[in-house]
């Protein structure tokens, strides 16, 4: 075997090995996202690890009877604009600020019927306090607990929480889109 042939075989082996490792990185998820949650008003389960592996995320604590509830419309617009670039939007309804419906059917109607939400929505969760859902426990440790409904947490493809934006941050604002584009 000539030196050129050996070098060629080694180069192919390295390329295949690097490709395999790159694929593994894309399918891994951050340990804090290794949870399953029930989808809003559905028997289906959302495997957060599966839906988030190697993808940027926008995680939002929501409420269906809040002054910011109209942001469902612009969150959906944001979802539609960036979903083909792998952005995953996940809404976590919560009654921690006493503005979420008691009945998940009512919450679902607000989201799906009133605002046309097609991004992922979970059943109602605790997002602040002493015993928040583990996802919000991590978000709180990294960027602070939500101080009201519609706090937005931006997570990069590696599962690092890079930014928290408050309720007033409009999903389709220039600032929000810049922050999202920084993790795409």
Residues with Cβ within 8 Å of 127's Cβ and at least 6 positions away in sequence, in order, are 61, 92, 94, 96, 133, 136, 145, 146
Catalytic residue among 3, 29, 49, 66: 66
pTM of the model: 0.86
Residue 22 has pLDDT above 60, yes or no: no
Is residue 66 part of the annotated active site? The answer reads yes
pLDDT at 25 over 80: no
Q: What is the mean pLDDT of the chain?
A: 90
Quote the pLDDT of residue 178.
98
pLDDT confidence of residue 169: 98
Least confident of 10-19, 119-128, 162-171: 10-19
**Mean pLDDT on 98-126:** 98
Q: What is the pLDDT of residue 4?
A: 53
Q: Is the pLDDT of residue 6 over 50?
A: no
pLDDT band, very low/low/confident/very high, at 16 (cuts 50, 70, 90): low
- Is it the case that residue 5 has pLDDT exceeding 80? no
User: Which of residues 50 and 14 earns the better pLDDT score?
Assistant: 50
pLDDT at residue 28, as a whole number:
84
Domains of the chain in sequence order = 29-181 (3.40.30.10)
pLDDT at 7 over 60: no
How far apart, in whole angstroms, are the C-alpha atoms of residue 1 and residue 105?
70
Question: Long-range pairs for 110-118 at CB < 8 Å and ≥24 separation?
Answer: 110/64, 110/65, 110/69, 110/72, 111/40, 111/62, 111/64, 111/72, 114/72, 115/69, 115/70, 115/72, 115/73, 115/76, 116/73, 116/76, 117/72, 117/75, 117/76, 117/91, 118/76, 118/79, 118/80
């Amino acid at each position: 075997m000539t030196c050129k042939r050996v070098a060629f075989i080694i180069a192919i082996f390295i390329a295949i090995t690097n490709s395999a490792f790159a694929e593994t990185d894309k399918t891994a998820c951050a340990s804090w996202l290794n949870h399953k949650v029930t989808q809003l008003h559905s028997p289906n389960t959302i495997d957060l690890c599966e839906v988030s592996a190697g993808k940027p995320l926008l995680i939002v604590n929501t409420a269906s009877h809040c002054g910011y509830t109209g942001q469902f419309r612009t969150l959906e617009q944001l979802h539609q604009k960036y979903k083909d670039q792998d952005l995953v939007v996940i809404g976590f309804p919560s009654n921690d600020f006493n503005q979420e419906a008691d009945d998940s059917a009512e919450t679902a109607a607000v989201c799906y019927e009133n605002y046309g939400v097609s991004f992922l929505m979970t059943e109602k969760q605790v997002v602040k306090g002493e015993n928040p859902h583990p996802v919000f426990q991590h978000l709180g440790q990294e960027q602070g607990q939500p101080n009201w409904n519609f706090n937005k947490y931006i997570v990069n493809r590696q599962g690092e929480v890079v930014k928290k934006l408050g309720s007033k941050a409009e999903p389709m604002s220039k600032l929000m889109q810049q922050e999202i584009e920084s993790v795409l």
